[in-house]
Amino acid sequence: MSGKSLLLKVILLGDGGVGKSSLMNRYVTDRFDAQSFHTIGVEFLNRDLEVDGRLVTLQIWDTAGQERFKSLRTPFYRGADCCLLTFAVDDLHSFQNLASWKKEFMCYSDVRNPERFPFVVLGNKVDKEEGKEVGEDEARAWCEENGCCPYFETSAKDDTNVGVAFEAAVREVLAAEDQIDHTLLSSTIDLHGNRKVPCSSCC
């Protein structure tokens, strides 16, 4: 096992209220707050873990899902090693919006190889069995069609699959490791940085 920790940046995207902050807080602090507030801009937390003998510092960036905060969140997409597209299984609209979240990420990130960039999809609030609007098969089919695998049904409330999903994200990054320079995270973020690929049509 290598003694040096690998710094990986993963970013949670998805509609407001689907549970992005709750997933991050569950994973890092093992707490769940039924009365959480909307995120404004972005927040991040770190957690150290070991995956397949590799020491990893996972830097989890939680973004504001509400449309009005778009300009505050998009500058932070750069340097992400993995994107966790999140919806709530009791909210069909949040599932239908996954494609536009993926598009927004690709538009504002600095991904060098779009075909190989790792996405993980989380269908959160699976504890709400009665109000479920998105089935597992339907979600998996979307993931297959859109090259966004693997898929996990999660519950930040019950701690279902939360650790498994973040560890899967790390594995996805490690699998694509030769494509990525993990030392890219800088201490400052250029809010006016030029995107590598001009994006006139989507954002």
Ligand X SMILES: Nc1nc2c(ncn2[C@@H]2O[C@H](COP(=O)(O)OP(=O)(O)OP(=O)(O)O)[C@@H](O)[C@H]2O)c(=O)[nH]1
Q: Give the residues lining the site for ligand X (CB under 6 A).
A: 16-22, 33-34, 36, 38-39, 64-66, 124-125, 127-128, 155-157
> 118: burial class by Cβ within 10 Å (0-12, 13-18, 19+)?
buried
For ligand X, which is the closer residue by CB, 33 or 52?
Answer: 33
Q: How far is the CB of 43 from ligand X (least distance, A)?
A: 9
Q: For the range 94-98, what are the long-range contacts, defined as Cβ-Cβ under 8 Å and sequence gap of 24 or more?
A: 94/14, 94/15, 94/17, 94/18, 95/123, 95/133, 95/134, 95/138, 95/139, 95/142, 97/14, 97/15, 98/14, 98/142, 98/146, 98/148
b/e sequence 170-195, b meaning 16+ C-beta within 10 Å: bbbbbeeeeebeeeeeeeeeeeeeee
Q: Are strands 151-153 and 82-88 parallel, antiparallel or unpaired?
A: unpaired
For ligand X, the closer of residues 18 and 148 by Cβ is 18
Amino acid at 169: A
Least separation in angstroms between residue 60's CB and ligand X is 12
Q: How far is the CB of 38 from ligand X (least distance, A)?
A: 4
Residue 171: CB minimum distance to ligand X, A: 22
Least distance in Å: CB of 64 to ligand X? 5
Q: Provide the minimum distance between the beta carbon of 124 and ligand X in the complex, in angstroms, as a whole number.
A: 5
Choice between 110 and 159, CB closer to ligand X: 159
| Phi, psi of 179, deg, nearest 5 | -90, -10
The token duo for 17 is 């209220």
